Amino acid sequence: MSGDFVVSLAESDPSEKFRRLIEVGLALTSESDLSTLLGRILLEARRFTCADAGTLYLVTKDGRLQFSVVQNDSLDHSEVLVGNGSSPVTMEISPTSIAGCVTVTGSTLNIPDVYEIPGTCGFHFDRSFDLKSGYRSRSMLVVPMKNPKGKIVGVIQLINARCPGSGKDTAFSSDQEELVLCLASQAAVALDNARLTGDLRRSYAEAIHHLAKAAEYRDKDTGRHIERVGRYAAAIAGAMGLPQDYISDLLLAATLHDIGKLSIPDCILQKPGKLTSDEYREMKCHASLGGEILAGSENPVLRLASEIALSHHEHWDGSGYPHGLKGDEIPVSGQICAVADVFDALCSARCYKSAFGMQESCEILKQESGRHFSPAVVDVFFRIKDRISEIREEFA
Ligand SMILES: [Fe+2]
Ligand SMILES: [Fe+2]
């Protein structure tokens, strides 16, 4: 990636920059995906200053600095997420490092040349990256990301300001310092929001998981059925090209498909062998009961879960229950979960049947395409059969 995208704003007039700052602030606060947000914050800060490179650090819960995004237009990797979720790269917050000093003092550092920091400063520049990569870091602008409570949540470090016209190295100006400081405060608010959204989502995902487990617990021989159904459904939805938000919701919502079984008596739910017609009629009520239990929520996952609970036993040809919906009258979520649920039930041993192998189960799905199942969903299922097998092994 070339550095041309960072040029325009450094040249533009102050009112244009101010307008752009407001625009960027609004855009940042509406971004809820943390990694996209972090990359965007650093990119926008570099656009405002025409900086060749930069690093964004986050302050972790245990009080360290985590390298979260690194961007460098002069080196091959223009953006690298340092480490990953399970093993991020962190460093101690020490006043002897540049980013550490900014975190400790809460003040901005604007350094014309990091190789000429006077020894009396108390902090120094670590040249190890330059030595490894052959890069020459020169000017540096390092700004704290302070939230409205005054807490420092991260640090933006911009490296090597470029002259807009010539592209030559220059120092960061005091105007740029001010702009980045404003951007950093907006970024801190956006970061707090994204983290809260993430926490909220994790909490309700956990609550949903426990609720689904409660229903499954009564159905003693289903093993990790609900987890597999969620995974299969999400994989199918992904291959169908459905939106990412829908796929994430479906992954959770599909696990609640049989929540209505909470109200089915054990003597029916755990009966070995065939149900009588009365028992079967009662068993079938779990679909509408599940739909009712989950109805009326404003939460998108619970709304989708209600739709799935109600429709996962509808058949493509109209012979299913509870409403005998036909073809595309059945919501897509129900069409997908019908395939995911039946496939998993076929592959698993139950109190009334032994497990079929993968091939036999797939054969049944194929035969039922256009009868029980949506032909389009069955086609997609076969297209991603390898992925389905992987999920089956992973959640065995
Ligand atoms: Fe069911
Ligand atoms: Fe099921």
CATH code where residue 239 lies: 1.10.3210.10
State the distance from the centre of ligand 1 to the C-alpha of 62, rounded, in angstroms: 44
Q: Are residues 291 and 157 in the same domain?
A: no
Whether residue 157 sits in one domain with residue 223: no
Q: How far is CA 25 from CA 11, 71, 168, in A?
A: 20, 20, 29
CA distance to 23, 139, 259, 342, 349, per residue, from 51 (Å): 20, 9, 54, 55, 61
183 by DSSP, 3-state: which?
A: helix
**How many domains in the chain?**
2
Q: Do both 185 and 229 map to the same domain? A: no
CA distance 323 to 369: 20
- Structure confidence at residue 105 (pLDDT): 96
| pLDDT > 80? residue 65 | yes
Arithmetic mean of pLDDT over the chain: 90
| pLDDT exceeds cutoff 60 at 110 | yes
Q: Is residue 207 part of a domain?
A: no
Instruction: State both tokens at 295.
Output: 């109805």
Which of 139, 159, 194 is the endpoint of a domain?
Answer: 194
**Residue 11 reports pLDDT greater than 90:** no
Task: Answer yes or no: is 30 within a domain.
Answer: yes
Domain end (from 151, 178, 194): 194
| Strand (E) or helix (H) holding 65 | strand 64-72
pTM: 0.71
Nearest one of 150, 102, 308 to 215, comparing CA atoms: 308
Q: How confident is the model at residue 83 (pLDDT cuts 50, 70, 90)?
A: low
The CA 195 to ligand 2 mean position distance, Å, reads 33
| H helices present in 240-352, as ranges | 244-253, 266-269, 277-294, 300-311, 332-347
Residue 205 resides in a domain: no
Residues 129 and 260 in one domain: no
pLDDT band with cut points at 50, 70 and 90 for residue 79: low
Q: Which 3 state secondary structure label does DSSP give 40?
A: helix
Ligand nearest to the CA of 286: 1
Report the pLDDT averaged over residues 306-333.
98
- The size of the chain, in residues, is 396
Between the CA of 280 and the centroid of ligand 1 the distance, in Å, is 12
DSSP assignment of 356-390: PPHHHHHHHHHHHBTTTB-HHHHHHHHHTHHHHHH
97 in Cβ contact with 140 (< 8 Å): no
Residues 6 or more apart from 22 whose CB is under 8 A from it? none
If asked whether residues 122 and 255 sit together in one domain, one would say no
Which of 179, 194, 209 is the last residue before a domain boundary?
A: 194
Task: Say whether both 70 and 22 belong to one domain.
Answer: yes
Mean pLDDT of 192-207: 89
Distance (Å, whole) CA 225 – CA 355: 13
The letter for the amino acid at 349 is: A
Calculate how far, in angstroms, residue 283's C-alpha sits from the geometric centre of ligand 1: 9
Closest CA to 3 of 36, 49, 38: 49
- CA–centroid distance, 154 to ligand 1, in Å, is 47
More confident residue, 141 or 28: 141
Residue among 57, 43, 49, 48 at smallest CA distance from 1: 43
Would 62 be classed as within a structural domain?
Answer: yes
Same domain, 383 and 280: yes
Q: Answer yes or no: do 147 and 247 share one domain.
A: no
97: CATH = 3.30.450.40
Q: Compute, in angstroms, the gap from residue 288 CA to the centroid of ligand 1.
A: 10
Average pLDDT over every residue of 58-84: 80
Model confidence over 211-227: pLDDT tens digits? Answer: 888 888 777 656 688 99
Do 66 and 162 fall into the same domain?
Answer: yes
Query: How far is the centre of ligand 1, averaged over its atoms, from the C-alpha of 287 (Å)?
Result: 6
- DSSP designation for 166: T
- DSSP, collapsed to helix, strand or coil, labels residue 246 as helix
The boundaries of the domain holding residue 366 are 219-394
Residue 286 DSSP SS3: helix
On whether residue 73 sits in a domain, the answer given is yes
Residues 298 and 351 in one domain: yes
Task: Evaluate whether residue 204 is within a structural domain.
Answer: no
Considering the domain architecture, whether residues 174 and 311 belong to the same structural domain is answered as: no
The predicted pLDDT at position 43 comes to 94
Q: Do 75 and 155 fall within a single domain?
A: yes
Task: Please choose, from the candidates 112, 2, 96, the residue with its C-alpha nearest in 3D space to the C-alpha of residue 46.
Answer: 2
Q: Is residue 98 part of a domain?
A: yes
